[in-house]
Structure 1
Amino acid sequence: MKYFGTDGIRGVFGETLTDDLAFKVGKALGEMIENEKVIIGKDTRVSGDSLEAALSAGITSMGVDVLSCGILPTPAVALLTRITRSFGVVISASHNPPEYNGIKILKSGYKIPDKMEEEIEKRLEKEDFSKRYIVGRVKSFKEGKDMYIGAILEMFKDLDLTGERVSLDLANGATTVTAKDVFEFLGASVEVFNHSQDGLLINQGCGATHPKFLAEQMKNGKIGFTFDGDGDRVLAVDEERNVINGDKIIGILANGMMREGRLKNNMVVGTVMTNGGLEEYLKGKGVKLVRTKVGDKYVLEEMLRLRSNLGGERSGHIIILDRSTTGDGLITALEIMRILKNSGKALSELAKVIPDYPQITKNVKRTEKTSLESDELKKLIEKITADGYRVVVRPSGTEPVIRITVEGKNREEIEEIVEKLSRAIES
């Protein structure tokens, strides 16, 4: 597709993502729906207001009302669309730097399927939108935040965090309006970092893409959680100040849910990037790991097909399907707290038993001449794989780069292999 990637439309604001494009996306979406409203939420990026105005203008010009939530995490908008059985749009570029932004479209809790994205693209290309004689209105929907927080508190009404000390890195993003309040409502003592709503600071040296910040800075917390810009990802920091990645979080959740009889079909869905150490750990517990393409939408599709209720990515994008229809960093963090309370163990104890093989990822700039189909590259990958390494070479769905990932048991050898593959792709 020309505009949609693995997570909606994304690009640098004013370059590949413009107000004009947002306006047309709004018209295309509005043209496709009738007698429904569209809920819009956004993260803190400075371009969010401009894109929201353009989207809203397009949607309302087709006779559809817009409910504007203001700053709100992606999973909160997903939950609101599930409650109201409506469409939603999130204006966010998730973990990307401040100059990026994006448009994610949801329906009844789920990201829209590829077929609907293709239909929107067709309408964008023809630009011959039908005329509507009724104009929609933009209405404030600030109560959406309270509805989301209320739903989370109801979900975890049996979780008492009184006496717990928690540190949160909010990445100067959308969780600045939700996470601290929820932890405090549940009784925790909360230390907060990067809680500004200055959109120029979102994800800048902080949050889930820079978890070492929290590991180095947290002082009062016994456990820490670091979110990304739109709140659908989270990584943890244990009491020894070790970063706990998404694969280890999945292992901890799988074990805890299995003990409760909650893990459906003894199955977990990951991606081609999921660490082999997690697969080994799950196998020892009698749990099967199923891999899919990178992207939470593909993880979710496979979970629904296999009737699994746990899946996710190493990046911290975890889907707990009996709690939410999308990745929700806050729900994941609270599930971890619940498992710690029930087990009586420290996070470091639960994490250390899950192996984590060395894995290195490098981005190579993608140009029009870049090809992954050369015989030379294919033979090189086959040889490396035959030597016992796991290799994933793929174009990014959100940035103009090729991602090279190599996994094995010797870090120095992996570094050499990554450089060799990088040179092969660049040449």
Structure 2
Amino acid sequence: MTLRFGTSGLRGLVSELRGLPAYTYTVAFLRMLQDRGALNEGSKVYVGRDLRASSPDIAQFVHAAIAKAGQVPVDCGALPTPALALHASSNNAPAIMVTGSHIPDDRNGLKFYRADGEIDKRDERHIIEIQAAMADTVPSLSAIDPLRLAAEPSQGYMNRFLGFFEKGSLSGLRVGVYQHSSVARDIVVDVLRGLGAETIALGRAEHFIAVDTEALRQEDVALLKHWAAAEAFDAIVSTDGDGDRPLVADAGGIFVRGDLAGAITAHFLGADRVVTPVSSNSGLERCGYFARVVRTRVGSPYVIEGIATALGEGGKCVVGFEANGGVLLGSRVEKDGRTLPALQTRDSVLPILCVLSAIARTGRPLAEIAADFRFLAAASGRLEGVPTESSASFLDKLATGATYADKSFSVLGGIANIDNRDGVRITAHNGEVVHFRASGNAPELRCYVEAKAESRADELLRWGLALGRAQILES
């Protein structure tokens, strides 16, 4: 079975999730909440979905499971994950999002939210134990008609931004919106227009496109540059499939990496502390904009734990973000007499708006703003179809075999530091970084690199992927 919890939620092949597994994992989630005293019989459970072809069908099994468990399923339709999380928390209710986020269309997943936010790793273990105990129990499933909301649940999500950013604050900006199959594609356009930006919709698709903001497809890279050359844009923006990770490109169509977009967002909001995984650029500590940088393992549950640490240390404005650009607002933000409440789940619209607002306020192009942060050039890629055990064997050899690691990285002039917090992140004596980790969502080995120049980063990424490929083939 491919079904497993990764960096954010349960993921796996559609063929293995649809039907009984979607049902039993939903029941296990609800029983976990009941065990924690966080769910009463007859409570509402909000359900949303992305635009994958399989999502409506899987959502039906989720609805059936909720009803069978004695709760009331509420169908929120297709909407971004952070919009669902915000709506559910505002109503003090749990939620389930049917989405595979950025992974291919033959896969899908479930994201679970308690009334107070994302489930944590302890919750995940409890859900897995409950589901395993009931996996052989085949219930009688029948379609049900869930409760439907009279009002559009995404409106509160849009109002969140329209009430915080000043009306007309993006006037004068011309923004391309790469819509593809993102469930947030119309919301992004509506919010940008509501703040005064001129928006042009680009690349709307009727079939699902897996846009991964950590490892863009070459087709997406080419599209961004093509649109930038054809039109005079201040920026081109987009999101991943479920709208919790942003994609931002500058006027030249050059992708601004997610951790850099997160840093621009945190600086714009006045953060004194940022929380981010070890995979984010090492320039965060060097840029001088933040009093403290808290590093975590990869995945929103770990970033949320880090946010709690930062708040406990006295952080006044705490912003978390991942290398994919998803921003988790750890604390309430007050700016220009307006307040933005905390929302500790990944969001794509907030970083898009903060980056565009930085352009509008300074009158400077995005490329110049980004350069101020002095990030090392970075690149990332992945080897697809790599079994989990093969990735684990390779990473273990790097982490525990000093001779093997030294020999493998001798071309970089030797190893200065090895960080095993999540995968194996190796820093060479010349300051270059190569980080290998197994994906938590798919059978992939990911590689992240940093170097002083883009050409060198591209060269280093090719070298890192070749090393990983050779070792996996050898094993």
TM class by shorter chain equals 0.7 to 0.9
Show the 5 A alignment for 1:63-102: 63-102=70-109
2:191 corresponds to = 182
Q: Give the counterpart letter for 2:381 in structure 1.
A: T
Q: Please name the residue that 1:7 is paired with.
A: 8
Q: Give the equivalent residue in structure 2 for 1:216.
A: 226
- 2:405: which partner in 1? 381
Aligned to 2:261: 249
Counterpart-to-counterpart distance in 2, 1:189 and 1:71: 25
Deviation string, structure 1 residues 290-319 (Cα, Å, up to 9, x no partner) = 221111221222012212522212222222
Query: Is the 2:236–2:249 contact (alpha carbons within 8 Å) kept by the matching residues of 1?
Result: yes
Equivalent-residue separation in structure 2 for 1:38 and 1:299 (angstroms): 25
**Code of the aligned partner of 1:320:** L
CA apart distance, 1:102 = 0.7
Name the CA distance, whole Å, in 2 between partners of 1:395 and 1:204. Answer: 19
Cα deviation for residue 191 of structure 1 reads 0.4
- Letter of the aligned partner of 1:221 in structure 2? F
Contact preservation (8 Å) 1:4, 1:117: yes
Give how far 1:106 is off: 0.9
Using the TM superposition, name which of 356-365 and 111-120 deviates more. 356-365
Map of 1:232 onto structure 2: 244
Matching of residue 415 in structure 1 with residue 474 in structure 2? no
Q: In structure 1, how many angstroms separate the alpha carbons of the residues matched to 2:466 and 2:182?
A: 34
Q: Find the counterpart in structure 2 of residue 366 from structure 1.
A: 387
State the distance in 2 between where 1:206 and 1:313 align: 11
Q: Considering only aligned residues, what root-mean-square deviation do their CA atoms show, in Å?
A: 2.9
Alignment of 1:128-167 (within 5 A): 138-141=146-149, 143-158=152-167, 160-167=169-176
* Closer/same/farther in 2, CA of residues 418 and 22 from structure 1, 3 Å limit: closer
Q: Provide structure 1 residue ranges, at least 5 long, that are not aligned to the other structure.
A: none
Q: Which residue number in structure 1 is paired with residue 419 of structure 2? A: none
CA contact (8 A) 1:171 1:203 kept: no
Code of the aligned partner of 1:294: V
The change in CA–CA distance for 1:204 and 1:374 in structure 2 (over 3 A counts) is: closer
Number of aligned residues: 412
- CA distance in 1 between partners of 2:166 and 2:378 (Å): 39
CA distance in 2 between partners of 1:176 and 1:297 (Å):
26
Letter in 2 for 1:21: P
Give, in whole Å, the separation in 1 of the partners of 2:209 and 2:433.
Answer: 33
79-88 vs 267-276, greater mean Cα deviation? 267-276
Residue 405 of structure 1 corresponds to which residue in structure 2? 448
- How far apart are 1:206 and its partner, in Å? 9.8
1:280 to 252, 262, 286: 286
- TM-aligned CA distance change 1:20 to 1:349, over 3 Å: same
Structure 2: runs of 5 or more not aligned? 333-339, 410-414, 417-427
The one-letter amino acid paired with 1:139 is: L
* 1:117 aligned onto 2:124: yes
3-state SS in 1 of match to 2:204: coil
**Are residues 400 and 419 of structure 1, via their aligned partners in 2, closer, same or farther at CA, if it must alter by over 3 Å?**
same
Query: C-alpha displacement at 1:175, in angstroms?
Result: 0.6
Contact 1:173 1:203 in 2 (8 A): no
* 8 Å CA contact retained: 1:171, 1:206: no
Amino acid of the structure 1 residue aligned with 2:172: G
Cα distance change of structure 1 residues 426 and 403 upon mapping to structure 2, 3 Å threshold: farther
Query: How many angstroms apart in 2 are the aligned matches of 1:391 and 1:356?
Result: 12
Shift of 1:158: 4.6
Corresponding residue of 1:347: 366
Aligned-partner Cα distance in 2 for 1:154–1:185:
10
Deviations 1:30-82 (A, max 9, x none): 34332421111111001011100001101101110011111100010111122
Structure 1 residues 61 and 246, CA, compared in 2 at 3 Å: closer, same or farther?
Answer: same
Shift of 1:276: 2.2
Deviation at 1:2, TM superposition (A): 7.0
Q: Within 1, Cα distance between the matches of 2:120 and 2:183?
A: 25
- Structure 1 vs Structure 2: percent identity of aligned residues? 26
Of residues 351, 367, 386, the one that matches 1:332 is 351
Distance in 1, matches of 2:322 and 2:191, equals: 24
- Per-residue displacement from partner, 1:344-383 (whole Å, max 9, x unpaired)? 3221210123332344433261254551323785533356
Structure 2 residue 55 is the aligned partner of structure 1 residue 45: no
Measured in 2, the distance between the counterparts of 1:418 and 1:74 equals 32
The structure-2 alpha-carbon separation of the partners of 1:207 and 1:188, relative to structure 1 and needing over 3 Å to count, comes to farther
Are the equivalent residues in 2 in contact too, given 1:65–1:139 (CA < 8 A)?
Answer: yes
CA distance in 1, matches of 2:263, 2:30: 42
In structure 2, how many angstroms separate the alpha carbons of the residues matched to 1:78 and 1:6?
Answer: 17
Deviations 1:173-209 (A, max 9, x none): 211341111112222221012334x3x3333699983
Task: Work out whether 1:298 is the aligned partner of 2:296.
Answer: no
CA 1:249–1:205 in 2, change beyond 3 Å: closer, same or farther? closer
- Mean Cα displacement is larger for which, 112-121 or 374-383? 374-383
SS in 2 for 1:160: coil
Partner of 2:273: 267
Q: Tell me whether 220-229 or 135-144 shows the greater mean CA deviation.
A: 135-144
